[in-house]
Amino acid sequence: MRKQEHMQSLKQNARIINGLLGLTFVTMIAAQFLIFVYVPTEQTMGVAQRIFYFHVPLGWNAFLAFAVVFVCSILYLLRRDKKWDRLARSSAEIGLIFTTLVLIAGTIWDKPAWGTWWTWDPRLTTTLILWFIYLAYHLVSVYATEESQGARYAAVVGIIGFLDVPIVALAIVLWPTQHPSPIIFEGGLTGSMMLTLMVSIVAFTLLYASLLILRTSLRHDADEIKKLKQYMDERN
């Protein structure tokens, strides 16, 4: 009976994941159509401005990923339940990938906009610091001598490191430089541009959610296999 309930749960989870992946695929295709076909080319920056529709959603989801790390790290330290550590680590990995892509997209956009691949602009610099923080998070969680110790240390890094997220978000307000101001909140986008941006944000958010569920599930399965292996070793 218990095995049957477990199989039903697995099937239900598989349906949810497949549905989420399908929705992610559809919205991502719609976003690409809007970005490369529908939305008009911006007059000042030209074709290079289309990077904006990737750059902003990637940045938003990096912040979301690290917010999940922050919350789950607190819950892990309070409850010492490994499921929160799995969720935090999985989200941190995805956030690190998204931050990497944000930096790459930013440098590609910088070249035609500012004439250089990199400048120590406050937004860029604080984003790079954020990348190093969560790289450290990953290294601490992987290379700790004991798994529980690595989980605790990583949780502390995840909580403290999140303090850089609002600094990155407010950098262009606190230290105005050549980086564009938050035009989304200033009415600087036309209707078609705003539609394209919103669809792209939804698509990348669904992608983040899909990756988070899959990566957390893989971690759970790896832990179960490890437990089974330890059990077999003890029996032998």
pLDDT at 3: 54
Mind listing the pLDDT tens digit for each residue in 34-59? 999 999 887 777 787 889 899 999 99
pLDDT at 8: 67
Reported as a pLDDT band with limits 50, 70 and 90, residue 126 is: very high
Q: Which of 43 and 195 is assigned the larger pLDDT?
A: 195
Which phi-psi region, left, alpha or beta, contains residue 187 (left: φ > 0; alpha: ψ -120 to 50)? left
pLDDT at 118: 82
Mind listing the pLDDT tens digit for each residue in 62-78? 999 999 999 999 999 99
pLDDT at 226: 82
pLDDT at 44: 75
pLDDT at 235: 76
Reported as a pLDDT band with limits 50, 70 and 90, residue 7 is: low
Question: CA angle at residue 170 from 164 to 173, to 5 degrees?
Answer: 150
Residue 91 predicted with pLDDT over 90? yes
DSSP the chain: -HHHHHHHHHHHHHHHHHHHHHHHHHHHHHHHHIIIIISPPBTTTBGGGGGHHHHHHHHHHHHHHHHHHHHHHHHHHHH--HHHHHHHHHHHHHHHHHHHHHHHHHHHHHHHHHSSS----HHHHHHHHHHHHHHHHHHHHHH-SSHHHHHHHHHHHHHHHTTHHHHHHHHHHHS--SSPP-TTTTT-S-HHHHHHHHHHHHHHHHHHHHHHHHHHHHHHHHHHHHHHHHHHHHH-
Spatial distance between the Cα atoms of 110 and 178, rounded to a whole number of angstroms: 10
Residue 223 predicted with pLDDT over 70? yes
Could you tell me the domains of the chain? 2-235 (1.20.120)
Reported as a pLDDT band with limits 50, 70 and 90, residue 104 is: very high
Spatial distance between the Cα atoms of 124 and 128, rounded to a whole number of angstroms: 6
Reported as a pLDDT band with limits 50, 70 and 90, residue 234 is: confident
Which tokens belong to 26?
């559809």
Residue 115 predicted with pLDDT over 70? yes
Share of the chain above pLDDT 90, in %: 53
Q: Which of 228 and 89 is assigned the larger pLDDT?
A: 89
In sequence order, the β-bridge partners of residue 46 are: 42
Residue 131 predicted with pLDDT over 70? yes
Residue 146 predicted with pLDDT over 50? yes
Reported as a pLDDT band with limits 50, 70 and 90, residue 108 is: confident
In sequence order, the β-bridge partners of residue 102 are: none
Residue 216 predicted with pLDDT over 70? yes
pLDDT at 1: 47
